[in-house]
Amino acid sequence: MRCVGRSALAVSLLILALPVCARAAKSQPPNADSIAALQAKIDDAQPSERCFLYAKLIHQMTEFSLIQHASGNVNKTNALLEQIKATARKLHLSVSENDKRLKNAEILLRRTAFRLKDLLHASDYSERHQVEQALVQVNKADDATLKQLFSK
């Protein structure tokens, strides 16, 4: 009887651990290769899908810039912030009436703005201007998606 109880406990722990392991394997931090692949995907995407893909790209670049900043690579962080600003401008211009997953794009942009605020608080005074500019562009893109969502 004791052996059955232990095996049942082991099986239940294994079953509970599987979703955690699957989630951890699925959510790997972004890197330069995943960002380049997403940029290529945007170029091939339909115009109605680009808004969400741009938001996803901005989010990945922000997460990658946080990783670069934490490792002390300021030049790479600044280059990524420039790319974030340019991509946010593209997203702002690409928001249209027939966008798929517009609400998902808005949620991603809101999360990205939150992460950029984290970067702003962690950055030195000399780096703050760059982060603030990226945050302004992301907020403008978020505002554009919100206006489009509520105009429907």
What are the tens digits of pLDDT across the range 110-137? 999 999 999 999 999 888 999 999 999 9
Q: Residue 52 corresponds to which tokens in the numbers above?
A: 């969400």
pLDDT in the model for residue 98: 74
Q: How many residues does the chain have?
A: 152
Helices (H) and strands (E) in the chain, counts: 6, 0
pLDDT in the model for residue 25: 42
Q: Residue 87 corresponds to which tokens in the numbers above?
A: 């991509």
Please tell me the pTM assigned to this model: 0.80
pLDDT in the model for residue 99: 73
pLDDT in the model for residue 23: 46
Q: Are 98 and 106 in contact (CB under 8 A)?
A: no
pLDDT in the model for residue 11: 45
What are the tens digits of pLDDT across the range 26-58? 578 888 899 999 999 999 998 889 999 999 999
Q: How confident is the model at residue 9 (pLDDT cuts 50, 70, 90)?
A: very low
Q: How confident is the model at residue 139 (pLDDT cuts 50, 70, 90)?
A: very high
Dihedral pair phi/psi, residue 73, rounded to 5°: -90, 85
- Nearest to 87, CA basis, from 72, 101, 68, 108: 108
Q: Are 96 and 145 in contact (CB under 8 A)?
A: no
Q: How far is CA 55 from the centre of its chain?
A: 7
Q: Are 130 and 86 in contact (CB under 8 A)?
A: no
Q: Residue 7 corresponds to which tokens in the numbers above?
A: 């095996």
Q: How confident is the model at residue 15 (pLDDT cuts 50, 70, 90)?
A: low
